[in-house]
Amino acid sequence: MRPIAFLVAYDGTNWCGSQRQKNGRSVQGELEAAIQKITGTFSPVTLAGRTDAGVHATGQCGRFETASCVPDERFSLALNTKLDNSIRVTRSWGCAPEFHPRFSAVERTYRYTILHAPVANPLLARITGWVREPLDVERMTQASAVFIGEHDFVAWQSAGSPNGPTVRNLTKLKIGRTRALGTDLVEIEIAANAFLYQMVRNIVGALIEVGRGTLETEDLQLLMEGRDRTKCPAPAPPQGLCLESISYGNY
């Protein structure tokens, strides 16, 4: 048996999430089924992180073990012949036995895209969260400084989170404007050593309220210090979120 690592991109719209579940089709389950079709043997897949239903990825990382004679770098091509069109393995390679997609990661980067227009663009509906009202990006940028650095983000995790430490080190939060298909977009790039359950969507939801003018920077600071999720704004919709990349340091 040898370990194979891979990068996978997917449109999460029609999946119940990345993690294998009993109540629907998952990205992990689809990958495992494709590997079994290629090798004839079931091989459990480990992914770097869990994404919810509707959330996308361009740089999700995974690993499995196999005794197949398929060359390491050819697995990506072989798997893509068996996968749903919404999932593509973009690269595969032989990895060190100790490499773990989740625990070897040193930084994860997400991008949230807001469709910012009076009328939603149907061509972007699957990959953006729509906000009708004007957004003040400068106010959002100023308020984002509250989240930078090492903090207890317990107020920014959703109900149902597993018990465990809630301190995270958020290293980047960049907000900017762009356009696609004739539509104004606001992009929020967030990087951290790790994220809590729905932490990115919860932070984006709060920043949207700042952009609308219903919250101030000081309000975000008080919410952080208050440690009470029930007093925070609702999370941003899942479809605007994409797991963009994962850094593995020396691997």
Q: Say if residue 29 is exposed, middle or buried (CB neighbours under 10 Å; 0-12, 13-18, 19+).
A: middle
3-state secondary structure of 138: helix
| Residue ranges in the chain assigned as alpha helix (H) | 27-39, 75-80, 137-144, 199-212, 217-226
Q: How far apart are the first and last CA of the chain?
A: 20
Question: Which pLDDT does position 250 carry in this prediction?
Answer: 79
* For the chain, domain boundaries: 2-94, 107-247
User: Residue 30 — φ and ψ, nearest 5°?
Assistant: -65, -40
Q: Which string of DSSP letters, residue by residue, matches 214-248? A: SS-HHHHHHHHHHT-GGGSPPPPPGGGEEEEEEE-
**pLDDT at res. 129:** 97
Measured between alpha carbons, how far is residue 99 from residues 34, 63, 64, 90, 218 in Å? 22, 9, 11, 19, 42
pLDDT for 161: 67
SS3 166: coil
Residue 107's closest CA among 192, 173, 6? 192
Is 64:8 a contact under the CB 8 Å cutoff? no
Two tokens at 192?
A: 């951290």
- What CATH code is assigned to 107-247? 3.30.70.660
Asked if residue 79 lies in contact with residue 31, where contact means CB atoms within 8 angstroms, the answer is yes
Task: Report the CATH number of the 2-94 domain.
Answer: 3.30.70.580
Angle at 55 between CA 126 and CA 21, to 5 degrees: 125
The string of DSSP letters for 172-203 reads EEEEEEEEETTEEEEEEEEEES---TTHHHHH
Measured on CA atoms in the order 41, 10, 89, 46, is the torsion positive or negative? Answer: negative
The number of beta carbons lying within 10 Å of the beta carbon of residue 169 is 14
* Burial environment of residue 192 by CB neighbours within 10 A (0 to 12, 13 to 18, 19 or more): buried
pLDDT of 10: 98
Q: Do domains 2-94 and 107-247 have the same CATH topology?
A: yes
Spans of the chain below 70 pLDDT: 160-161, 251
- Which residues are tagged catalytic? 52
* pTM for this entry: 0.95
